[in-house]
Chains A and B, each alone.
Chain A
Amino acid sequence: MKYETIIGLETHVELKTATKCFCSCPAEFGGEPNTHTCPTCTGMPGALPVLNKKVVEFAIKTGLALNCEIQRYNRFDRKNYFYPDLPKGYQISQLFLPICRGGYVDIETDGATKRIGITRIHIEEDAGKLIHSGASISDSDFSVVDYNRSSVPLIEIVSEPDLRSPQEARIFMEKLRSILEYIGVSDCKMQEGSLRCDANVSIRPPEQKEFGVRSEIKNLNSFRSVQRGIEYEQIRQAAVLDEGGKVIQETRTWDEEKGVTHSMRSKEEAHDYRYFPDPDLVPFVAEPEWVAKIAETLPELPDARKERLTGRLGLSAYDASGVIARLATADYFDEAMKHTGDAKAVANWILGDISAWLNSNNLEMRDFPVAAGNISAMINLINKGVLSSKLAKTVFEEMLKSGKAPAEIVREKGLEQISDAGALALAVEKIIKDNPKSAEDYKAGKDRALGFLVGQVMKETRGRANPEMINKLLREKLS
């Protein structure tokens, strides 16, 4: 790359409160249109907002988890603009005095840890939803407005322009999701819009000190599109510079299907939001005692969890990262570890067969039907030599189907590994007798013949023979 890419992310997080930010309407996603509204969240004249305490607690909790300074004195501002999804004609936000400042998140890139600064976190309310009648905004004659989402609480997390590649941006977003999931402030469902991100992207020649002109990319609705959208944008900007042109400061929207960004409007004619303090809401003070109380509710965070897995439990950094990334997976791992001592095997099953099954069924860990204790019991059977690794796959599939305990499946299906030397010796002798050519080959020094013979014994015993023992027995008999 001829240019260096500079990226800062603005992440909007819908908070998992029961009610909206400034009224007692349900904040949950969905519902029939306009069934979660009241005079306040539809901007009726005279209706007054009252701040939801939980929103402040969640914002503080997030700030603490992201190593921010919690600001003592807080107030809300009005951001004024006209759009039908905004019934009051303004959005309540915190421009001047955000609740959190100056934090950081550590991410892993190429095996190294990189610290990404958090500029600020502020509280604001979400807008309603417009449903356009045509295929897109431009060919709709009218729009239908649903205010269920109007005034659902959001926090906006603004990063420093510390990210240097589309991949780093994606890793940062994934890390943010981990932390937000762990502290339980949001569902973090990108597909339902509870986690959304805009990216500020600029490029500069390596020798240049100051940042280039940036564009803001909107509509990055999945981790994949965060990476792809920024990848596209850095190439587009490089092409503009290479042709001797100038990048203009503008807002662009990511088109996931076409894989391009489109200009939305240029900042030259940007809005004048006329921010001013909201006179309907009195200031609030986050007293240190309150903040300390909230700090006590912080759970073990992803970094600490990873350390526990790589430390005492001896997992590799790679496996530990895979296990801890999502809370449901990390909890599943912990639950499984209550029933077995083999951390490595639990991680292998989670990152291997379990992940593969979830991916192929388009499901998430929280939907996984097999109890963690049964995975542990299966691992214990393997470690005790009762079940072969190969037949464990059969047990795994049967657990998915019937939900039965592994020991029961082994018994019912007769999958128990044959480790009885006498029984195996008979099978080995039979195979040697049936395959004299291979036996001779092995004796003549062709090691590969042994593999064939092992395979034949496995076949003879329907996969139940203990492979290590067959190996040993074959070597003995053929030497």
Chain B
Amino acid sequence: MKVSAQEVQYIAKLARLEIPEEDLALFVRQFNDILGYAGMLGKLDTEKVEPTAQVLPYGNVMREDAAGTPLTQEEALSNAPAQKDGGYLVARVMEGGGV
């Protein structure tokens, strides 16, 4: 697997990061190093191994639907750089979001 400079720029854009032109080569190399390292797994024979998304030996970890105590408004907002009317104040929302 080989990651191109364009792909690194694209991923940076998705993560809202700006990568200066002079650093790009470094990140491309690091991306490929990491993926190459993980790529070693591809050499293993996994014929008889079931696919999984989890390596933890747990399943069905659930809680009962019983209410706990939420934070107070003051506590919730205590780390907010800016607040207004009991809410977190954020910069004007631009296009490109939403569920």
B99 and A26 within 8 A (CB): no
Within 8 Å of chain A (Cβ to Cβ): is B22? no
Cross-chain contact B86 with A32 (CB below 8 angstroms): yes
Q: Is B6 an interface residue (CB 8 A)?
A: no
Measured CA separation A145–B63 after assembly (Å): 28
A80 to B99, CA, bound (A): 10
Contact A140 B70, beta carbon cutoff 8 Å: no
CB distance B86 to A37 under 8 Å?
no
Query: Taking A83-B97, A144-B84 as contacts, is the C-beta distance between A19 and B65 under 8 angstroms?
Result: yes
Given contacts A32-B86, A75-B53, A137-B93, contact A42 B62 (CB under 8 A): no
Question: Is A279 a contact partner of B54 (Cβ separation < 8 A)?
Answer: yes
A141-B99 Cα distance, complex, nearest whole Å? 21
Known interface pairs A137-B93, A144-B88, A145-B87; A24-B59 also in contact (CB < 8 Å)? no
How many positions in chain A have a CB within 8 Å of any CB in the partner chain? 58
Q: Shortest distance in angstroms between A14's beta carbon and chain B's nearest beta carbon?
A: 13
Cβ B68 vs Cβ A52 within 8 A: no
Task: Determine the residue in chain B with the shortest Cβ distance to A55.
Answer: B65
Expressed in whole angstroms, the minimum distance between the Cβ of B11 and any Cβ of chain A is 9
- State whether the Cβ of A132 lies closer than 8 Å to any Cβ in chain B: yes
Q: Does B77 contact A (CB under 8 A)?
A: yes
Q: Is A146 a contact partner of B87 (Cβ separation < 8 A)?
A: yes
For the complex, what is the distance from the CA of A381 to the CA of B60, rounded to whole Å? 58
Which of A17, A142, A146, A282 is close to B58, meaning CB atoms less than 8 Å apart? A282
Asked if B54 and A75 make an inter-chain contact with CB atoms under 8 angstroms apart, the answer reads yes
Flag if A142 contacts B91 (CB, 8 Å). Answer: yes
A25 on interface, CB distance cutoff 8 Å: yes
- CB contacts under 8 Å to B, within A13-51, are 17-19, 23-26, 32-39, 42, 50-51
Residue pair A37, B71 in contact (C-beta under 8 Å): yes
A283 to B64, CA, bound (A): 17
Q: Known contacts A140-B93, A282-B61, A284-B60; is A34 also within 8 Å of B66 by CB? A: no
Whether A38 pairs with B89 at a CB distance below 8 angstroms is no
Pairwise interchain contact B87-A38, C-beta atoms closer than 8 A:
no
| Contact assessment for A272 and B14 in the assembled complex, using a CB-CB cutoff below 8 Å | yes
Q: A409 contacts which chain B residues (CB < 8 A)?
A: none
Across the interface, name the chain B residue whose C-beta is closest to A272. B14
Are the CB atoms of A52 and B63 closer together than 8 Å? Answer: yes
CA distance A53 to B62 in the complex (A): 5
Alpha-carbon separation in the docked complex, A56 to B14 (Å) = 32
Interface pair B54/A277, CB less than 8 Å apart: yes
Residue B81 at the chain A interface, CB threshold 8 Å:
no
Interface string of A115-132 (1 = CB under 8 A from B): 000000000001100111
Q: Does A239 contact B (CB under 8 A)?
A: no
User: Are B92 and A142 neighbours in the complex by a CB distance under 8 Å?
Assistant: yes
CB pair B76 A83 closer than 8 Å? no
Q: Which residues of B contact A144 (CB under 8 A)?
A: 84-85, 87-90
Size range of the interface on B?
A: 35 or more
List the B side residues contacting A35 at CB < 8 Å.
70, 72-73, 76, 86
- A404 at interface (Cβ–Cβ under 8 A)? no
| Chain A residues positioned under 8 Å from B62 (CB to CB) | 50-53, 56, 284
Residues of A within 8 A of B61 (CB): 50-51, 281-282, 284
Say whether B45 faces chain A, with CB atoms less than 8 Å apart.
Answer: no
Is B16 close to A, CB under 8 A? yes
Interface presence of B96 (CB below 8 A) = yes
A147 at the interface (CB under 8 A from B): yes
Name A33's closest neighbour in chain B (CB-CB): B86
Q: Do the beta carbons of A24 and B67 come within 8 Å of each other?
A: yes
Say if the beta carbon of B98 comes within 8 Å of chain A. yes
Nearest residue, chain B, Cβ from A139: B92
- Whether B76 contacts A81 by the Cβ 8 Å rule is no
Which residue in chain B gives the minimum CB-CB distance to A93? B99
A81-B56 contact, Cβ under 8 Å, with A19-B66, A25-B70? no
Minimal beta-carbon separation of B84 from chain A (angstroms): 5
B65 touches A54 (CB 8 A): yes
Question: Complex: how many Å from CA A23 to CA B76?
Answer: 15
A364 and B54 CA atoms in complex are apart in Å by 48
> Are B54 and A36 closer than 8 Å at their CB atoms?
no
Cβ-defined partner of B85 (8 Å) among A18, A33, A53: A33
Q: In the complex, are the beta carbons of A146 and B71 less than 8 A apart?
A: no
Contact A84 B93 (CB under 8 A): yes
Does residue B95 face the partner (Cβ distance < 8 Å to A)? Answer: yes
A38 to B60 CA separation, bound complex (whole angstroms): 23
Bound: A33/B84 CA distance, A = 10
Nearest opposing residue in chain B for A24, CB measure: B68
Q: Complex Cα distance A272/B10, Å? A: 10
- Report if A448 contacts B (CB, 8 A): no
Contact residue among B52, B58, B68, B86 (Cβ-Cβ distance under 8 Å from A25): B68
The answer to whether B60 touches A132 (Cβ under 8 A) is: no
Residues of A that sit less than 8 Å from B by CB: 17-19, 23-26, 32-39, 42, 50-56, 75, 80-86, 91, 126-127, 130-132, 137, 140-147, 264-265, 271-272, 274, 277, 279, 281-285
Extra inter-chain contacts (4) besides given A37-B76, A84-B97, A145-B87, CB under 8 Å: A24-B67, A37-B70, A83-B99, A143-B92
> Top 7 A-B pairs ranked by shortest CB distance?
A83-B97, A24-B68, A277-B53, A144-B87, A54-B65, A33-B86, A53-B62
Report B's interface with A, CB cutoff 8 A. 14, 16, 52-54, 56, 58-68, 70-73, 76-77, 84-93, 95-99
